[in-house]
Amino acid sequence: MAGLAESGSNPDVDLLYDINGLAKDAPLWFDRTMEYVGEYGLLLAMVLLVVGCWWSVRRRGGAEAASSVAALVWVPLAAALAVLVNVPIRGFVKRPRPFLDHQGLEVLVSGKTDFSFVSDHAAITMAMGVALFVANRRFGLVGIGLALLEGFCRVYMGVHYPTDVVGGFALGTAVALLLSPLAMALLTPLLRAVEGSAWGGWLVSARGARAGRDEAGAGRGAEETASAEERDLAA
């Protein structure tokens, strides 16, 4: 993979210089903004998007609430698995960061010493975006858009080749889609049990929370009635 980047005539390298060259022409404040957005901001935005989707699903409730929340639980798990799968890939490919092999790049984030292929940030955000799309198309489309922006930022910052980003997108998509059926088979029964519980129903559905409180109240009422009948019999 490192050989792909040895020639400046390589389209991967040409696109790297074209996108990263935008950072040289941009004002300092914009580069600092892109640095934060590409390193932390979009990851935080993805988390907030998942939380927003969960809140929407929880308020709506209904018979499919448990399976919908199970799909949302899969979102961060898919991202974590994508990172784990990337560990042996990076160790096998051993592609250096682009600024180590090419001069003149505007590197916005220093101290990157690990291998370049594939991009963890691209894999994480795309895994979350695709998994979120499976759970909710409206929120998922926004998530995929954020993932694409993340990929652009990583090249703009000079820390990844475009093919690192494409590889991250492919990895995140594969993990989110291929393992989704297994994840749903395992998570859906668990979330249904949580929905029916008195202590965790609110995590799945606002209606589930009310049902849990009603069930708990009915249980206490039955106990009080039984106690009253026992006292009457004793008297």
- The 10s digit of each residue's pLDDT in 32-43 is 999 999 999 999
Total residues belonging to the chain: 235
pLDDT of residue 199: 80
Answer yes or no: is 2 within a domain: no
Answer yes or no: is 127 within a domain: yes
Answer yes or no: is 72 within a domain: yes
Domain that holds residue 38: 7-195
**Cα-trace Rg, the chain:** 25
Same domain, 142 and 215: no
Same domain, 147 and 209: no
Same domain, 99 and 204: no
Output the domain CATH number for residue 59: 1.20.144
Same domain, 224 and 156: no
Proportion of the chain above pLDDT 90, given as a percent: 65
Same domain, 218 and 185: no
pLDDT of residue 59: 85
Answer yes or no: is 14 within a domain: yes
Same domain, 139 and 169: yes
Same domain, 160 and 231: no
Q: Backbone phi, then psi, for 108, in 5-degree steps?
A: -85, -20
pLDDT of residue 113: 85
Name the domain count of the chain.
2
Which tokens in the block code for residue 207? 């209606």
pLDDT band, residue 1 (cuts 50/70/90): very low
What is the distance, to the nearest Å, from the Cα of residue 65 to the centroid of all Cα atoms in its chain?
Answer: 20
Distance CA 104, CA 24 (A): 10
Same domain, 21 and 104: yes
Distance CA 86, CA 120 (A): 7
Residues 58-92: pLDDT tens digits? Answer: 887 777 888 999 999 999 999 999 999 999 999 99
Answer yes or no: is 11 within a domain: yes
Average pLDDT rounded to a whole number, residues 93-106? 91
Same domain, 127 and 86: yes
pLDDT band, residue 196 (cuts 50/70/90): confident
Answer yes or no: is 1 within a domain: no
Same domain, 213 and 125: no
Same domain, 178 and 62: yes
Answer yes or no: is 25 within a domain: yes
Q: Which comes out higher in pLDDT, residue 219 or 168?
A: 168
Q: Which residues of 150-185 are buried (b: 16+ CB within 10 A; e: fewer)?
A: bbbbbbbbbbbbbbbbbbbbebbbbbbeebbeebbe
Average pLDDT rounded to a whole number, residues 46-50? 96
Distance CA 123, CA 165 (A): 8
pLDDT of residue 158: 93
Answer yes or no: is 172 within a domain: yes
Same domain, 176 and 214: no
